[in-house]
């Protein structure tokens, strides 16, 4: 019996609704398989925790998480009570940085029954490889003076190591797919870092003559995600560009509530973290209608990471069947609740198993 120890952080808002849903699915997957099991240890680290303790997680939080095989997280943020940069940097970004989860994998694909806002969505299926450790997300900078003279400076940090690592990851991934990598740049407007990004891309692609490439400025690329998403395979992007592109990836699938993500520690020193693209959605929290598919598809990425790709494929197929049959939450134009979608996925998994 293979057993994985998973640290579970539901976090805030709908994280507290979709994480339990995905855990039900993972338990069902384990039952159906028979030869694997999960042990889930839950941590209440969140904005609620912040309001009680003045921090998003205890001082030894990372020490505690370190021993797990993976971290399964919902979403972080309750902007009514805690500024978003405090909650994000105090938990999510802290884990990504300290645990060297330098790559963020974010797939998007068209599947049957999804209510894409595109009038004629073709069969798109791409993965955004988001650089996850530096770039525009940096603590380098500061603020001085007050009033009219106030200045805010935010420095973007692009290292050759980090840039090349993300690009190589994208090329290796493309080799297992359709052998195409698109680089998201903005070297016309961003004077230093983006020409550097282009140079590193040109260097790296020389090592992958079997992989075709394209490079677009991020503004044009965003438009292409809408007008011809089926032409992309792997897209490599900086931290901020990848962030924006992947909400868009969710949107063209029909809802950001479906989009999954994996924060990968590539050197094996620390656990990886699995959390969907979406946030805590305070506007729908508590209504029982959050789409659980983003979190459940994220569980599939965790299964893949554990080497259980066959199970992962079965899970994704089951999700597709459920949406194809119209069992969908309101964000996808349906009337089903979080619970109904989850139960239907579990029921079908059991039937298959």
Ligand X SMILES: O=C(O)C[C@@H](O)C(=O)O
Ligand Y SMILES: NC(=O)c1ccc[n+]([C@@H]2O[C@H](COP(=O)([O-])OP(=O)(O)OC[C@H]3O[C@@H](n4cnc5c(N)ncnc54)[C@H](O)[C@@H]3O)[C@@H](O)[C@H]2O)c1
Minimum CB distance to Mn ion, residue 104 (Å): 10
Task: Identify what 134 binds: ligand X, K ion, Mn ion, none; CB under 5 to 8 Å per kind.
Answer: none
Q: Which does 243 bind (CB under 5 to 8 A by kind): ligand X, ligand Y, K ion, none?
A: ligand X
Report the run of H or E that residue 223 belongs to, with start and end. helix 218-227
Which residue number, 89 or 196, has a Cβ lying nearer to ligand X?
Answer: 89
| Residue 278 makes contact with ligand Y by CB under 6 A | yes
Residues near 147 by Cβ (< 8 Å), separated by ≥ 6?
none
Q: How far from the centroid of its chain's Cα atoms is residue 304's Cα? A: 14
Residues 86-105 that bind ligand Y (CB under 6 A): 88, 92
The whole-angstrom separation of Cα 86 and Cα 153 is: 18
Q: Does 308 bind Mn ion (CB under 5 A)?
A: no
DSSP, residue by residue, 298-334: HHHHHHHHTT-HHHHHHHHHHHHHHHHTT---GGGT-
- Which pairs count as long-range contacts for 150-157, CB under 8 Å and 24+ apart, including other chains? 156/190, 156/193
Q: Nearest to ligand Y by Cβ — which residue?
A: 77
322 belongs to the binding site for ligand X (CB under 6 A): no
Q: Does 243 bind ligand X (CB under 6 A)?
A: yes
Task: Give the chain's end-to-end CA distance (angstroms, integer).
Answer: 17
The count of chain residues that interact with Mn ion, using the rule CB under 5 A, is 1
Residue 285 CB, nearest approach to K ion (Å): 13
Residues 262 and 301: beta-carbon distance below 8 Å: yes
Q: Is 277 in the site for ligand X (CB under 6 A)?
A: yes
Q: Characterize the bridge pairing of strands 262-264 and 141-144.
A: unpaired
Residue 134 interacts with ligand X (CB under 6 A): yes or no: no
Per CB under 6 A, does 71 bind ligand X? no
Size of the site for K ion (CB under 5 A): 3
Binding site for ligand X (CB under 6 A): 88, 243, 277
């Amino acid at each position: 019996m293979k057993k994985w120890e998973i640290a579970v952080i539901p976090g805030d808002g709908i994280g507290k609704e979709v994480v339990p849903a995905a855990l039900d699915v993972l338990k069902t997957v384990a039952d159906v398989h028979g030869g694997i099991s999960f042990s889930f240890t839950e941590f209440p680290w969140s904005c609620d925790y912040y309001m009680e303790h003045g921090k998003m997680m205890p001082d030894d939080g990372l020490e505690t998480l370190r021993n797990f095989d993976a971290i399964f997280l919902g979403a972080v943020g309750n902007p009514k009570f805690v500024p978003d940069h405090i909650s994000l940097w105090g938990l999510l970004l802290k884990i990504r940085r300290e645990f060297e989860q330098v790559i963020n994998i974010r797939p998007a694909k068209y599947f049957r029954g999804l209510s894409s806002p595109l009038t004629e969505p073709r069969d798109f299926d791409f993965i955004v490889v988001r650089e996850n450790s530096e770039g525009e997300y940096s603590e380098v900078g500061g603020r001085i003076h007050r009033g009219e003279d106030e200045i805010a400076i935010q420095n973007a940090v692009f290292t050759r190591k980090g840039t090349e690592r993300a690009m190589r990851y994208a090329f290796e991934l493309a080799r297992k797919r359709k052998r195409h990598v698109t680089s998201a740049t903005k070297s016309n407007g961003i004077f230093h870092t983006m020409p550097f990004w282009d140079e590193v891309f040109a260097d790296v692609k020389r090592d992958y003559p079997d992989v075709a490439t394209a490079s677009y400025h991020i503004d044009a690329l965003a438009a292409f995600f809408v007008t011809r998403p089926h032409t992309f395979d792997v897209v490599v992007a900086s931290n901020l560009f990848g962030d924006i592109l992947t909400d868009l990836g969710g949107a063209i699938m029909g809802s950001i509530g479906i989009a999954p993500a994996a924060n990968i520690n590539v050197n094996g020193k620390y656990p990886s973290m699995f959390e969907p693209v979406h946030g805590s959605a305070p506007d729908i929290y508590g209504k029982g209608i959050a789409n659980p598919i983003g979190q459940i598809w994220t569980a599939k990425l965790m299964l893949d990471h554990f080497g259980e790709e066959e199970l992962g494929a079965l899970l994704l197929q089951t999700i597709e069947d459920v949406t194809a049959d119209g069992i969908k939450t309101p964000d996808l134009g349906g009337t089903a609740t979080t619970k109904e979608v989850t139960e239907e996925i579990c029921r079908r998994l059991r039937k298959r198993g």
